Amino acid sequence: MNSNLNQHYERAKELRALLNKANYSYYVLDAPEIEDPVYDQLYRELIEIENIHPSLITDDSPSQRLGGIASKGFKNVEHNIPLLSLDNAFNVKELEAWYARISKLISSENKTVKQFDNPELICELKIDGNAISLRYENGILTKAATRGDGKTGEDITTNIRTISTIPLRLLLKNPPSWIEIRGEAFMPNNIFKKLNIERKNTDQPLFANPRNSCAGTLRQLDPKIVASRKLDFFAYSLYLPENWEQNNSNYKKPSSQSESLEFLKNIGFKVNPTYETKKNLQQANSYYRYWEIEKDSLAYATDGIVVKIDKFEIQNLLGATNKAPRWAIAVKYPAEEKATKLRKIIFQVGRSGAVTPVAEFESIELAGTSVNRATLHNSKRLSSLDLHYEDTIIVRKAGEIIPEVIRVIKEFRTVDSQLVEFPQNCPACNSKLIQEASEAITKCINPECTAKLKGLLRHWVSKASMNIDGLGEKIINQLVNEGYVKSIADLYKLEIDSLLELERFGEKSANNLLIEINESKNKNWHKQLYGLGIPHIGEANAKSLSKNFHSIEELNIIAKKAPENISNIYGFGNEMKDAIIQWFDDSSNQNLIRELKAIGFSLKDSLDSNYNSNQLNVLDGKVFVLTGTLDSLTRDEAKELIENAGGKVSSSISKKTDFLLSGEKAGSKLKKAKELGVKIINENEFRLLL
């Protein structure tokens, strides 16, 4: 073996090991080790070596299989039709090279067929989600599976049935014996943000981006959890039996990708509306450049576009390699990443005792916003980054939403730099930290930890719970540090003399704060429940609990004697049930309940004084969308009134919207409502409805 071949042999061996390990972490463990651009770079290097030396191609090379390994957590299912992946291009030049290759191939295969010259293209956005295969038999959904390794995936039929945009029965007369649909399951950006806010409020690790949170959701064993996360789905390809005769059927059998997308829409699927047919490559390039700028305005994450030959006849002519179709290519957008200097690491202690490392660094601009800090999630993530103080780090916005530190440029590290180590003791109270073997979270379990108390108080006074204006973080810190407040109940025992001893307090501001605190006793039951800070119970979960259990006593009894009634609530699982049971088992929480009731909290349902019991469900099932600035109500106040009256609030206009509540400076939602014929009302008309 000559020296050049030997060198390539060793490098190919190293790349195979790196890529196979990365595939396993990504597909099996749901714990990505390296970011996509790095993976793509390593993969391309391996392909180049194998192209130069075909003798170095081995059976275990990532180039010789379709994807990752199917997880053993679910029943495996074999795909009737393999899920091929797509070859990637990373700029317009590589797209042009692909087009030149297939044009040459078409010409060599069909020298006499004129209509095959300059074939029409179709461009679609590449949704950053998870590929799903759906099988329908006689028009009814019978099987749903993940990609897995392309030949064998995981059976997630029960979870997929919870996605409302996937029909259980096709809108197709006389369907064939089977139809297979391919598409992308994804988590919309607003749902992702809301989920991470709830996880932050319940001291759980944040999801890195919408794609990973979608993957984790699809692999939940409890379909109620899947349903609560409101995943969505875009269908993008269709497979029908070759001998299917569309006699007496309501739709014609497609002969192209564009017709296929229309067919999918007609039979009940949601199809991404941004696709366009293009007559030539120049138009496809324009589509790519347009969405590179406009993608930030979308309600979901996209990491590129997919360009396909439109006609099935030409697709069949071109065929596929063992890995990817020749007639399609994914053109990826470069991820926005920037280097900056790490300044310090803060270890934050949440109200449950969870300790979270947060990196603070020199401010940089990412995706249009200024960023100077990012969570590092937990001790495992901190360790994997191998961070040293004053390191130069690479930061990007995960899913273009949440900043994350993705790697360190070790070449810029100074010789005497110190490793950032996770503390052994609580940064606030110096108690020994613990980490359960089954959890990634490191916790302080000292019940008297002041940091936990401060976190719980911040949660209690927040907008979603008691909404006590004027009681911010600095004042909470002073009250706890001075020993005036040792529990939530102590807030309601404060006297004006104590407040006047604190910085920045005069008699008027102290009186105003005491009034705000006292008035918070009248908040709705679900806000009181949410404010208690039960682990894993976010705002939406607290609302669901309050509708099913009408007082703290009732919930307490259910938790002790019939906890299955909790896990039977739509969207709840064993984790939430166990958290509620453990919370009520804690004697300090039982003391808190007694103290709150003694100072005037109802901790139960009470009718809003503005509406009698006959009015509570006047908006039952009606869907509202809010836009603009209302005269006397905030968005949150209007939303609460709607939900208390049985209605629902959506973030986007559709044909299912019943009312658009419109105020001053209404935006694009007003125009869309007019186009769809949605009833538009102002604040006065809204009050009349109530």
Q: Which residues partner with 375 through β-bridges?
A: 358
Q: Verify that 165 and 301 share a domain, yes or no.
A: yes
DSSP conformation class of 105: H
Q: Verify that 42 and 109 share a domain, yes or no.
A: no
- Looking at residue 607, its pLDDT comes to 46
Report the distance separating Cα 657 and Cα 672, nearest Å. 11
Model confidence pLDDT, tens digit, residues 75-129: 888 999 989 889 999 889 999 999 999 988 888 765 555 556 789 999 999 999 9
- Asked, for residue 33, whether it belongs to a domain, the answer is yes
Report the distance separating Cα 426 and Cα 434, nearest Å. 10
Burial of residue 536 (CB within 10 Å: 0-12, 13-18, 19+) is: buried
Q: Verify that 646 and 619 share a domain, yes or no.
A: yes
Q: Verify that 354 and 325 share a domain, yes or no.
A: no
User: What is the SS3 assignment for 292?
Assistant: helix
Q: Verify that 272 and 344 share a domain, yes or no.
A: no
Q: Verify that 259 and 140 share a domain, yes or no.
A: yes
Q: Verify that 178 and 313 share a domain, yes or no.
A: yes
- Asked, for residue 600, whether it belongs to a domain, the answer is no
- Asked, for residue 504, whether it belongs to a domain, the answer is yes
Q: How many helices (H) and strands (E) does the chain have?
A: 24, 22
Q: Verify that 373 and 319 share a domain, yes or no.
A: no
pTM of the model: 0.61
Q: Verify that 347 and 255 share a domain, yes or no.
A: no
Alpha helices in 240-365 (DSSP H): 257-266, 281-294, 312-318
Domain of 143: which CATH number?
A: 3.30.470.30
Q: Which domain holds residue 316?
A: 88-332
Domain of 417: which CATH number?
A: 2.40.50.140
- Looking at residue 240, its pLDDT comes to 94
Model confidence pLDDT, tens digit, residues 16-70: 888 877 776 665 455 667 777 777 778 888 888 888 888 888 766 777 655 455 5
Distances (CA, A) of 125 to 87, 236, 257, 324, 656: 15, 10, 14, 18, 25
Domain of 512: which CATH number?
A: 1.10.150.20
- Asked, for residue 529, whether it belongs to a domain, the answer is yes
> What are the tokens at 608?
């809003």
Alpha helices in 329-472 (DSSP H): 379-385, 450-461
Domain of 54: which CATH number?
A: 1.10.287.610
Q: Verify that 380 and 458 share a domain, yes or no.
A: no
Determine contact, residues 134/166, Cβ cutoff 8 Å: yes
Q: Verify that 480 and 588 share a domain, yes or no.
A: yes
Q: Which amino acid is at 262?
A: E
Report the distance separating Cα 459 and Cα 193, nearest Å. 18
DSSP 566-599: HHTSTT--HHHHHHHHHHHH-HHHHHHHHHHHHT
Report the distance separating Cα 13 and Cα 53, nearest Å. 13
Q: Which amino acid is at 103?
A: S
- Looking at residue 615, its pLDDT comes to 46
Domain of 619: which CATH number?
A: 3.40.50.10190
Q: Verify that 456 and 438 share a domain, yes or no.
A: no
Q: Cβ of 1: how many Cβ atoms within 10 Å?
A: 9
> What are the tokens at 561?
């004697």
- Asked, for residue 510, whether it belongs to a domain, the answer is yes
Report the distance separating Cα 328 and Cα 310, nearest Å. 9
37: Cβ contacts below 8 Å, ≥ 6 apart: 334, 335, 337
Residue that terminates a domain, selected from 443, 460, 494? 443
Residue that terminates a domain, selected from 443, 477, 501? 443
439 φψ region: left (φ > 0), alpha (ψ -120 to 50), beta (else): beta
List active site positions.
Answer: 126
- Asked, for residue 540, whether it belongs to a domain, the answer is yes
- Asked, for residue 153, whether it belongs to a domain, the answer is yes
- Asked, for residue 363, whether it belongs to a domain, the answer is yes
Q: Which residues partner with 179 through β-bridges?
A: 136
Residues in the chain with pLDDT values less than 50: 28, 67, 71, 607-615
- Looking at residue 224, its pLDDT comes to 83
Q: How many domains are there within the chain?
A: 5
* Strands, sheet with 659-662, edge to edge from the N-terminal-most edge strand: 648-650, 623-627, 659-662, 679-681
Residue that terminates a domain, selected from 396, 424, 443? 443
